[in-house]
């Protein structure tokens, strides 16, 4: 397989900077707003500020399992306050005085910390609707939240892979370093918002040089979802999405299996 592009971004901001420098309108800007998660401008803004509005849906999933794994641990819940260690960019931009993120710990017996690297492939078939794409990403976000809750520190990467004939196109972007607090809004945009793929990634492909864009069929099919060549470098890898995969409306078995693989006791 000829890997025609293999981008590595050390932050989401680095990825956005590259896209901003390309700047030119593309076919990705014209597709259906529901399927793509909104206009390019609105998606670009969420990539910067985070998708905080979707956080309650993720917590609903996580809370279904929390009591099964939370025997005597330290649980840190983020909340907005007048003071804190980090800024919630969305709240700040809205002009809210409570725009700082403060962690409220609840002490129970715990386990030692361990660093896990996790990659989530946003590549998805075109026949999968936006709601299904978001549901899978929300389940993955719940897993990450639960792992951090029981003492693991997750290094999170969003990634992408597409192939056409013998050509492959791929990228990876660091969303969260292991020692960074979990910014739920930015994580949710990166792995659960359809615009990460159908606006930002397609715009990246559309604005490649002509020979690259044609090789991967940009502005048309954008190739087929595939797994990037670097997928085995991560402790946990969540692959691309095609029609007829796991039923993400029943996420509990999948999350429990992933937790047990990392040595988490589930009651």
Q: What per-residue confidence (pLDDT) applies to 85?
A: 66
Alpha-carbon radius of gyration of the chain? 19
Q: What is the per-residue pLDDT for 168?
A: 98
Element (H, E) at 63: helix 55-69
Element (H, E) at 126: none
Which two three-digit tokens encode residue 29? 């800007």
pLDDT band at 29 (very low <50, low <70, confident <90, very high): low
- Do the beta carbons of residue 151 and residue 209 sit within 8 Å? no
Contact 223, 163 (CB under 8 A): yes
Are 175 and 12 spatial neighbours (Cβ–Cβ below 8 Å)? yes
Give the pLDDT of residue 74.
Answer: 47
Closest CA to 155 of 183, 119, 191: 119
Q: What is the pLDDT of residues 195-233, one digit of tens each?
A: 999 999 999 999 999 999 999 999 889 999 999 999 999
Q: pTM score, two decimals? A: 0.84
pLDDT tens, 106-148?
544 444 468 999 999 999 999 999 999 999 999 999 999 999 9
b/e per residue 101-130 (b: at least 16 CB within 10 A): bbeeeeeeeeeeeeebebbbbbbbeeebeb
pLDDT for the residue numbered 161 = 98
The DSSP element (H or E) to which 85 belongs, if any, is none
Average pLDDT of the residues of the chain: 88
- How far is C-alpha 255 from the geometric centre of its chain's CA atoms? 16
Q: Which parts of the chain are beta strand (E)? A: 2-9, 75-81, 86-87, 100-106, 114-121, 152-164, 167-176, 224-225, 236-238
- Beta strand pairing call for 75-81 and 100-106: antiparallel
């Amino acid at each position: 397989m000829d890997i025609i592009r293999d981008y590595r971004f050390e932050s989401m901001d680095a990825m956005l900077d590259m896209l901003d420098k390309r700047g030119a309108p593309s076919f990705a800007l014209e597709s259906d707003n529901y399927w793509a998660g909104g206009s390019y401008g609105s998606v670009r803004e969420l990539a910067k500020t985070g998708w905080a509005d979707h956080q309650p849906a993720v917590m609903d999933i996580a809370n279904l399992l929390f009591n099964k794994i939370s025997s005597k641990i330290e649980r840190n819940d983020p909340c907005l306050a007048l003071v804190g260690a980090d800024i919630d960019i969305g709240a700040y931009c809205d002009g809210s005085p409570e725009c700082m993120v403060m962690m409220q710990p609840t002490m129970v017996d715990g386990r030692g910390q361990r660093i896990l690297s996790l990659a989530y492939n946003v590549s998805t078939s075109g026949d999968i609707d936006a709601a299904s794409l978001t549901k899978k990403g929300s389940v993955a976000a719940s897993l990450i939240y639960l792992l951090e809750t029981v003492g693991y520190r997750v290094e999170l990467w969003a990634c992408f892979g597409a192939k056409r004939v013998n050509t492959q196109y791929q990228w990876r972007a660091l969303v969260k370093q292991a020692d960074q607090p979990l910014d739920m809004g930015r994580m949710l945009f990166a792995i659960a918002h359809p615009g990460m793929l159908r606006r930002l990634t397609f715009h990246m492909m559309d604005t490649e040089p002509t020979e690259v864009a044609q090789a991967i069929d940009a502005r048309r099919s954008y190739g087929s979802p595939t797994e990037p060549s670097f997928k085995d470098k991560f402790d946990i890898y969540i692959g691309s999405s095609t029609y007829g995969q796991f039923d993400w409306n029943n996420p509990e078995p999948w999350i429990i299996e992933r937790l047990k693989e990392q040595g988490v006791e589930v009651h």
